[in-house]
Structure 1
Amino acid sequence: MKTQCLCANITYSTLRGRPILVRRLKLSNFRNYAGLDLCLGRGVTVVDGRNGQGKTNLLEAIYLMAIGRSSRGAADRQMVRSGAFEDFLAHAQVVGEAVTSSGGLSLQVDLSAGERIPGASGEAWHEAQRVQKTFRVNGVPKRSSDFVGLLKAVMFAAEDVDLLSGPPTLRRRYLDILTSQITPGFAREAQDYQRVLTQRNHLLKSIRERAAKESELEFWDVQLSIHAARIIDARLRVMNALDENMDPIHRELSGLNQTLSLKYSPSFETGHYEDVRDLSKMMLDGFREIRRREIGAGFCLIGPHRDDFSAKLDGMDVGSFASRGQARTAILAMKLGEAQLIGERVRDKPVMLLDDVMSELDEDRRRHVFDRIRDYEQVIITTAETDLSDVMGDLPVRRISIDAGRVVASG
């Protein structure tokens, strides 16, 4: 397999003293990319091409290095190029060389399947095979919780318009990704919570089937309440900060004097709490109060895995009652507020990844969005359009054209 290399014409001498977030991206068997070695510079890069050629996949690879999972919520095996499953061992790899204010980083994600089942077709194996995902930082193996958030990135995608109207799992995922990028230890806390939740659910089911004693729940109730309180508290702190950022941005984008706010909806009554210990006690009391119901159900009925949040526009629920245009503007304000928040909390501004969102906006909103993002160190925009001069003007822009998983033009 020949890897396409496009780094020869890019230099960084003029960028000394200014951090570049992703300066090189290498892909092997990732989505529709058999092999690619691409250098990226500071400023704005526009990636164009027809739909279905691999523009989104390029951004997904970069975002994978930031959050450790697909930006589209896809299963890991879906990120492995289908043709790779014709080989005895299917393996995909994403490697990024990043520069931040704290120094250089080599970030690596490997997606590896087991040995091919004798006689199975590549397509059948692709559909059935589980893929193991591993992480390395500067060549050293890392747990996912220690990998997530080393590279900061914000992804804007056309399908984000459904974030506020879709199922709660989308909103929990969004909030946890943001919290992981700016709250040290949150990713590991979330993993610990999931581990304890799985154990407690198994015990609840066993008690329901009279294969375990109810008294065994007390230990797991305490453990889960501790992790749950830390997660909820971290989410609330991040959401409150995001709430402050997004309202003025929304007024600017919409041109209207309307208040955009966020409301967290826990799955149990919390009320006011003094600290995480206080919140943990509330959670523990909640477990004890609904114990009979949980045993009957055979799984945990309350906790951050069942929480939600909503956006309100002058008190109106955006997810339920806003027009598609209003929802899109609200989401843009959230994303821009997210980028601002990351820049406020850490030393590096995030990489800005915009996946074909400009085509969804009118000229005025396009200009407002671009005015907000143009000062970030690195902005990568995908588009099916060939001309974005209405918002970019004479700003220097690097252009990359993608066709069938290959860069066919770069300049």
Structure 2
Amino acid sequence: MDIGGLSCLYVEFLILENFRNYKELILKPGLLNTFYGKNAQGKTNLIDAIFFGITGRSYYTEREREAIRWGGSCSRLYFKLREAYRELVIEINLFKNQPKKVKANGSVVRGYPLGWVGAVLFSPRDINVVQGPPHERRRFMDQEWGPFIPHYEYNLRQYQRVVIQKNNLLRESKDRKRLHVDIDIWNQQLSHFGSKILATRLSLLKKINPLIRYFFSRLTENKEGLVIRYNSSLKIEEEMSEKELYNRFLCAVAALEDEEIARGQTLIGPHKDDVSFLINGADARVYGSRGQQYTLLLALKMAQIEQWKRECKENPVLLLDDILFDLDSDRRDALLGYVEGNIQTFITTIDDKALSFCKLDNSKVFIIDNGRIAHY
């Protein structure tokens, strides 16, 4: 679908069967869609279903079987999606006791038909990217930015596998002499995949950093400065090649071998890294006000949308789960002004004042009550 001069990923139609608290749902959304309801009625479940249908994974759980409605043995998601040059009918079947099955235009497929992530989801829990521990920022980089880079997900899975295997070896091996030989083998694999992940993350930050800073500057009217730093557990420089990163990695893990054996875990690598967001020189996680932290998070999400546009030459779907009306009016207007008329948007809210606010041209407003949806 073509909206505002740029092609747009667009959900034309969806059916849910036995998905979370939805026994059956049939929905034909518009360009701007607002879903109002009290807590625990199914708003977030619907947002997760849309994200699932577009990306092939749940945003809110890693255990996909949990999405099957209580008491059921299977769940079905059916989506009709439109892109610039193709129409996709996606069907996802979840089962209690077997792997999920995905069909694209009637044919069973491996992987996921859309390839890259075509949805940007913004929810209150995302503030953990700013406020939370390092693994939240690593997850954000890996899941929200990583799909733009070919083979990144594969390298990440392989790296995580090596870390687990090496940690098992460090904890369980009784043969000290043999242990040193085996660790050397695992360290080579660790350095191989770890250097690829490091190179990708540094490249991603270099590419997306100007976008984040641009939107942050725009949201603060140039009154506050933002610096983003990648904090590696290795001593590295931004301009290092992948080969240089590999050699640095290999030397670093070799130097820590005795300490890793004593502690029974891999002590350095991308799984230990972090990102710092400095607002006017101060760490936003520690010293940022609530307003500054939400401004930073909004800049991250807007940069994610813009990066998607540049890489894929189309607009993603935007999902705002109980977050829009947590923003102050200036930030809310900035976000809606950026996406208005250009991006298919799904908004959930418990604020009944939002109903008149969201009743605009090309918009649809729905009431959600205990897994049932009606037009407002």
Closer, same or farther in 2 for the Cα pair 1:73/1:174, shift >3 Å? farther
Matched, 1:207 2:207: no
Matched, 1:56 2:44: yes
User: In structure 1, what residue type is equivalent to 2:363?
Assistant: V
Closer, same or farther in 2 for the Cα pair 1:287/1:147, shift >3 Å? farther
Matched, 1:71 2:64: no
Matched, 1:383 2:349: yes
The Cα shift of 1:151 comes to: 4.4
Instruction: Name the TM-score, length of structure 2 as normaliser.
Output: 0.90
Closer, same or farther in 2 for the Cα pair 1:209/1:51, shift >3 Å? farther
Matched, 1:27 2:16: yes
Partner of 1:47: 35
Question: Identity of aligned pairs, percent?
Answer: 29
Matched, 1:110 2:93: yes
Closer, same or farther in 2 for the Cα pair 1:220/1:206, shift >3 Å? same
The Cα shift of 1:309 comes to: 0.9
Question: Does the aligned pair in 1 maintain the 2:10–2:82 contact within 8 Å?
Answer: yes
Residues 84-95 of structure 1 mapped to structure 2, 5 A cutoff? 84=72, 90-95=73-78
Residue by residue, what CA displacement relative to the aligned partner does 1:176-222 show, whole Å, maximum 9, x if unpaired?
11223311222222222222222222222233565953212222211
Partner of 2:202: 236
Match for residue 227 of structure 1 among 184, 193, 196: 193
Closer, same or farther in 2 for the Cα pair 1:195/1:38, shift >3 Å? same
**CA distance in 2: counterparts of 1:328 and 1:23, whole angstroms:** 31
User: In structure 2, what residue type is equivalent to 1:350?
Assistant: P
Closer, same or farther in 2 for the Cα pair 1:104/1:231, shift >3 Å? farther
The Cα shift of 1:107 comes to: 3.3
**CA distance in 1: counterparts of 2:315 and 2:191, whole angstroms:** 34
The Cα shift of 1:32 comes to: 0.8
Q: How many residues align?
A: 376
Partner of 1:119: none
Instruction: Name the TM-score, length of structure 1 as normaliser.
Output: 0.83
Residues 7-406 of structure 1 mapped to structure 2, 5 A cutoff? 19-41=8-30, 43-73=31-61, 75-84=63-72, 90-114=73-97, 132-144=99-111, 149-207=115-173, 210=176, 212-388=178-354, 394-406=360-372
Q: More relative contact order in 1 or in 2 (CA 8 Å, sep 6+)? A: 2
Unaligned runs of 5+ in 2: none
**CA distance in 2: counterparts of 1:226 and 1:395, whole angstroms:** 53
CA RMSD of aligned residues (A): 2.8
Question: Does the aligned pair in 2 maintain the 1:23–1:39 contact within 8 Å?
Answer: yes
Residue by residue, what CA displacement relative to the aligned partner does 1:20-54 show, whole Å, maximum 9, x if unpaired?
4222222222111112232234x211122222111
User: In structure 2, what residue type is equivalent to 1:177?
Assistant: Q
Question: Does the aligned pair in 1 maintain the 2:8–2:316 contact within 8 Å?
Answer: no
User: In structure 2, what residue type is equivalent to 1:295?
Assistant: I
Question: Does the aligned pair in 1 maintain the 2:138–2:273 contact within 8 Å?
Answer: yes
Q: Which secondary structure does the structure 1 equivalent of 2:315 belong to?
A: coil
Question: Does the aligned pair in 1 maintain the 2:320–2:347 contact within 8 Å?
Answer: yes
**CA distance in 2: counterparts of 1:22 and 1:36, whole angstroms:** 15
Closer, same or farther in 2 for the Cα pair 1:180/1:101, shift >3 Å? farther
User: In structure 2, what residue type is equivalent to 1:331?
Assistant: L
**CA distance in 2: counterparts of 1:395 and 1:366, whole angstroms:** 18
Q: Which secondary structure does the structure 1 equivalent of 2:172 belong to?
A: helix
Question: Does the aligned pair in 1 maintain the 2:15–2:25 contact within 8 Å?
Answer: yes
Question: Does the aligned pair in 2 maintain the 1:111–1:133 contact within 8 Å?
Answer: yes
More off after superposition, 265-274 vs 370-379: 265-274
Residue by residue, what CA displacement relative to the aligned partner does 1:281-318 show, whole Å, maximum 9, x if unpaired?
21111111111111222221111112111211111111
Closer, same or farther in 2 for the Cα pair 1:148/1:267, shift >3 Å? farther
Q: Which secondary structure does the structure 2 equivalent of 1:164 belong to?
A: helix
Q: Which secondary structure does the structure 2 equivalent of 1:50 belong to?
A: coil
Q: Which secondary structure does the structure 2 equivalent of 1:310 belong to?
A: strand
More off after superposition, 328-337 vs 370-379: 370-379
User: In structure 1, what residue type is equivalent to 2:36?
Assistant: D
Unaligned runs of 5+ in 1: 1-11, 85-89, 115-130
User: In structure 2, what residue type is equivalent to 1:105?
Assistant: L
Closer, same or farther in 2 for the Cα pair 1:227/1:149, shift >3 Å? same
**CA distance in 1: counterparts of 2:55 and 2:270, whole angstroms:** 19
Q: Which secondary structure does the structure 2 equivalent of 1:408 belong to?
A: strand
Closer, same or farther in 2 for the Cα pair 1:257/1:53, shift >3 Å? same
